[in-house]
Every structure is written in C-alpha cells, then in structure tokens.
C-alpha cells in the first residue's frame, strides 16, 4: 500500500499535468487557479487508495480521481459565489479576483471537464461510473439547496442537519471510495462497503469541521475561530443548542450585532454549559468507529486496512 | 417523415413527462419553470428528425433530444445571470423570480441532468455520445467567454465574430443533428454531414437573430427592436459598420447616452448607408444554401430531405 503522502503527491502531479486549451484564457486560467490552490486532496486520495487496496493499478483510477477532485473544486467555486465568500485557501476567490460571470462560467466548464475525466475509462465500466458520478452530483446540489433553505428556517432539527451534510459532503467521499473500487473491478459487496465507509468518514469529517470552527486552536486552525458563530451558521452545535437552551439567551445572541468577541464568548459559553463540545466529539467518534468497522468487513490485507483506519483517525484528530 | 409540428409536440410532451424528485423544491421548481417556458425546441427537433431520417425509431433518440434541450436551457439560465437579464420568453428570469444562488445551483443541476439524459442509451453508443456532448459543451462555454471578452474589445473582426457564434450557438445545433444520427446507427459520413448541416444552419440562425433585432417588424418580433443597438452589442452589423464607417459618427453614437429612439435611428441610418441589412441577409442566405447543399449529400429519401430543406428555409425567413 502507498502512503498518504505518496498519494497526495501523485494527485498534485496529475493535477499539474492536466492540459488546458490556450484560448480563451479567461475561461481556463480561473480553473487552473482553483485547482492549483491545493486543499487536502482527500477525495482523489480515497479513490486511488480504494483502487489499489482491491488490487488495481493506481493509474487505472487516475482520471476518476482527478474528475472527482475537479468536481469538488467546481462546487467550492460556485458555493463561494452563492455565499459571497472573499477568500478560499488563503487566496481571493475567483469571483473576487476576476468577477462573478467568470466564476459561474469557469465552474460550468469544470463540471463538464469533471464528467469527461470520470468517464475516461473502459466502455464496460462507463455506465456504472457515470451513473454513480451523476447521482452523487445531484445529491450534492440537493445538500447545498437544503443548506441555503436552513438559513431561513428557525426550526431545523439535528436529524435534518445530518441529512443535509450527508448530501452536501459525505456522498462525495462515498462516491470517491466506490469509484476506486469500481475501477479496480471490485464486486458489488466491496463497492457498497467502500461507499458506506466514505459516507461515514464524511459525516465525521464535516462534524469535525464544525467543531474546529468553534473549538479549534487559533494558532493552527488557519481560519479565525468563531466564524460560524458570527455568521449564525446552522451547525450541529448551534442547532443542538437552540433545541436545548430555554433561557432565551441564545436566541438573543443569534442575529445580534454585538461586538464579535462578545458574541463568540457568549455563544461558546452556552455551548459549554450544555457540554456540546464533548458531545459533538462523541458523535464524531461514533461515525469514525462506524467507518472503521465498515472497512474491516471488506477483507483487505493488513497493510491496506491500516491505511484506511489511519486516514479516519488522522481526520478525526486533525486540528485544522 | 414526421412534420415539424408533430416533433415539437413530441418534445413538449416528453419535457412535461420528465419526473423530478419532490424535494428540495427550491432546486427543482426553477428547472421545471425554465424548461416549461417553451422556446422553439429547434435542437431536440433536429435530433429526432436526424434519427428518423436515417431510419431510426423516434423513441430511440428521445433521451438525447431531451438532454440537449436541457443543456440549452441550462446555458440560457446561466447566461441570463451573467447578462443580468430580467426577462426570458415573456417571463421573469430565474434569478429575478427567485435569486442568483437559485439560478446558479438549479443551472448546475440542469447540466448534470442533461448529462444523465444524453448518456441514457446502449453501452455501445455511450462513449461516442458523451464525447460529442462534452466536447460541444466546452465549445459553448468558450463561445460565451469570447462573447464576454468582445464586450471589452474595440477591435473585434468579423471573422472573430463568426468564430464566436460558431462556438456559442452553432456547434450545439451540429451536435443535436449528429446525436440523432448516432442514435439511428448512422455511419461516420452520415454523422459528419449531419453535424456540418447543423453547424451551417446554426450560423444562419444566429445571424438572422442579429438581423431581426435591428430589422425585424416590431409587430411580430416579440421583443423591442433595437435592443442590441442600445446595449452596444457587438453583432455582425455593428462590427461590420465599425470597420467601414470612417466618418466617426458611429463611434460617437456607440456608448453614448442620447435618447434611445435617436440612438436606434442614428445607428440604423449608418447601417443603411452601408447597405448592411441586405449584406447581412446575403450571408444568411449563403450559410442556408451551404446547409442545404450539405444535407443533400447524405442521400436521404425525398420526404426526409424536404423536411430539412424546409426547416432551413423557415428559419431564414422567420420574422421572430
């Protein structure tokens, strides 16, 4: 089995080697800018790792890994327009650096390029691969729509929230894993266990994201702590707190325009009284354990199994 | 051969029968709104007609026809956001009726749904079909990018303009025709002649659009005459006039904020002095003749050939 670092390096090299037409530069330059921007490359690494773990050659899943990374970056690009976000991975977002039309059109091109990459495989596999990819894409859009709908709803439940992050984030990790399994020629059982593994890992991953935004160490987190609180973002923490805090203090803080430090301190204080930091981490651990239990059922060799157990443990223990 | 009216009815029925998930409504309702909005349905009609003309069953090309219509409507939806257009086919555009995020996300979903529809065919054909569709999509984005680039450039040549409309508009008509030929099991020669036919017809079609915007009959055109002139839109007429008018009068009018009627009258006056209306129509006729010559080479039966000759002639003689 390859190491995580090797696979990340493999993905970065493959990303750099993507060839774009020279013209029109206004269409292709923002795509290069977005994809070269880095990120954890977790999805393509999962695709390659699942393929190799089932005995496939790493190169066999290269285009699918790239296609999924391209799709992921397309969603970030369009989400940033919808969220009016200014920065991404320490650089101005495409719609700030260029303009909104550029962000929309280059994103569209990325979606089509993702589809081209994913479908670049044996004819015998093309049907399954495209069906999985397109179904996943539709689910990701549905998740983004629910996320936007939730902003306007005061009564979102924890279950609805989990379903939203399942769609918006987790299914793409499930798809990334299953895609690797398909490319390796895995059977139906291996494919669905890998999908399930990615899904559970994705839930743990997204909840960890929410957790770190409030409880991360400012020195290593890379973003300002408390951003979600300042934006009244409906995370697991806020939704749980809204359901449990009957003092009315939280409702007063949400949507208020008091000084940022006071708002962060006030909301975090209520989270602490309800022990939500610990409870959030318990749920993360539960999903992580479920992911590990699932991957154990596939019957991988020791080396490959250790890779996936490690990637889950690193993910749940990450600090940024 | 079916009549044009029959095929339009067939497409409209198929569009109405597309099943969308119930939830989230905020994602799917704008898609229904866009697709049910009508339009000429020229692209799906061409797909069905090409399939039938080569002896294929009409149902064989149904999903591909729908997919191409879905793609076309996706491009209109996103173009309307980029152009900040308020109305489309007599109704508020999606970003006006809902908001910009809805227009972006629903458009993304339409692109993925288009890909699903186009790829819904025999495994043996999936590779060719998806390659044609994705290549065409990339060309359409390139055309849109050039169109936006041209807005900021004072020196666009007529040849550059023709290349832009080839990409933005014509290749999709070529793709629509070739897609029908592929679904009918047409050979390489039939496929490329049908592509070429659609391409030439698309050039005539787009130039006719430009022509009508200035020279159409206000009573039947459906939009205000002179919209392109008021927006300083770089059409064939304006680009040709800018290249030929050395009096400086046109440059004074372009970008000026004089009364709309005066601007339209002034620019149209210069077009008339240069005989550009007639010359534009001569070019439309040339492309239309080339389209007809191309389709004649395929060796269709009399009935089918008459269908395609008619559709070109109706298109070049249309008044709206």
CA A244/CA A253 separation, integer angstroms? 15
Give pLDDT tens digits for A179-200.
999 999 999 999 999 999 999 9
Query: pTM for the whole thing?
Result: 0.97
pLDDT grade, residue A315 (50/70/90)?
Answer: confident
Mean pLDDT (whole number) for A91-118 = 97
Give pLDDT tens digits for B219-263.
887 778 899 999 999 999 999 999 999 888 999 999 888 999 999
CA B315/CA B309 separation, integer angstroms? 10
> What is the total count of domains within chain B?
1
Top residue of B82, B127, B129, B141 to mutate, by most chain A CBs within 10 Å, is B141
Contacts (Cβ under 8 Å, ≥6 apart) of A35: A15, A18, A69, A70, A73
Domain with B58 in it: 4-317
Q: Do B27 and A119 touch (CB under 8 A)?
A: no
Distance from CA of B106 to the nearest CA of A (A): 8
Distance from CA of B112 to the nearest CA of A (A): 6
- Chain B residues with CB under 8 Å of A145 CB are 24, 26-27, 105
Chain B residue with Cα closest to A147: B24
Domain at A14, CATH number: 1.10.600.10
pLDDT grade, residue A147 (50/70/90)?
Answer: very high
Task: Supply the pLDDT for residue B318.
Answer: 81
Task: Supply the pLDDT for residue A224.
Answer: 82
Q: Do B134 and A115 touch (CB under 8 A)?
A: yes
Q: Do B21 and A100 touch (CB under 8 A)?
A: no
A126 pLDDT more than 90: yes
Task: Supply the pLDDT for residue B316.
Answer: 84
Give pLDDT tens digits for B251-308.
999 988 899 999 999 999 999 999 999 999 999 999 999 999 999 999 999 999 999 9
Residues of chain A in Cβ contact (below 8 Å) with chain B: 21, 23-24, 26-27, 78, 81-82, 100-101, 104-105, 107-109, 111-113, 115-116, 119, 123-124, 126-127, 130, 134, 137-138, 141-142, 144-146, 148-149
Q: Do B104 and A21 touch (CB under 8 A)?
A: no
Task: Supply the pLDDT for residue A246.
Answer: 87
Look up residue A255 and give its two tokens: 């949507």
A240 pLDDT more than 80: yes
Mean of the per-residue pLDDT values for chain B? 95
Give pLDDT tens digits for B118-137.
999 999 999 999 999 999 99
Distance from CA of B116 to the nearest CA of A (A): 7
pLDDT grade, residue A157 (50/70/90)?
Answer: very high
Give pLDDT tens digits for B83-109.
999 999 889 999 999 999 999 999 999
Q: Do A134 and B116 touch (CB under 8 A)?
A: yes
Give pLDDT tens digits for A259-269.
999 999 999 99
Top residue of B24, B94, B132, B146 to mutate, by most chain A CBs within 10 Å, is B24
């Amino acid at each position: 089995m390859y190491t995580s670092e090797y696979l990340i390096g493999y993905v970065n090299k493959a990303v750099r080697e993507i060839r774009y037409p020279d013209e029109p530069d206004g269409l292709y330059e923002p795509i290069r800018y977005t994809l070269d921007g880095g990120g954890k490359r977790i999805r393509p690494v999962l695709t390659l790792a699942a393929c190799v773990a089932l005995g496939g050659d790493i190169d066999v899943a290269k285009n699918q890994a790239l296609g999924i990374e391209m799709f992921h970056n397309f969603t970030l690009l369009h989400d940033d327009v919808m969220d009016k976000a200014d920065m991404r991975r320490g650089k101005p977002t495409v719609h700030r650096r260029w303009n909104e039309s550029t962000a929309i059109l280059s994103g569209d091109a990325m979606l089509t390029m993702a589809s081209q990459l994913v479908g670049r495989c044996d004819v015998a596999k093309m049907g399954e691969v495209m069906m999985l990819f397109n179904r996943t894409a539709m689910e990701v859009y549905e998740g983004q729509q629910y996320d936007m709908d939730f902003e306007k709803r005061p009564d979102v439940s924890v279950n609805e929230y989990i379903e939203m992050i399942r769609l918006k984030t987790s299914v793409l990790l499930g798809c990334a894993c299953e895609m690797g399994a398909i490319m390796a020629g895995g059977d139906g059982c291996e494919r669905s266990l890998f999908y399930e593994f990615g899904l559970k890992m994705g839930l743990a991953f997204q909840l960890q994201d929410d957790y770190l935004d409030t409880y991360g160490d400012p020195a290593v987190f890379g973003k300002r702590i408390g951003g979600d609180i300042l934006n009244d973002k409906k995370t697991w923490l806020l939704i749980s707190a809204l359901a449990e805090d009957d003092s009315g203090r939280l409702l007063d803080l949400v949507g208020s325009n008091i000084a940022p430090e006071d708002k962060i301190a006030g909301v975090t204080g209520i989270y602490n009284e309800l022990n939500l930091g610990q409870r959030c981490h318990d749920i993360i651990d539960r999903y992580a354990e479920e992911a590990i239990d699932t991957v154990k059922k596939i019957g991988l060799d020791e080396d490959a199994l250790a890779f996936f157990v490690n990637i889950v443990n690193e993910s749940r223990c990450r600090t940024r």
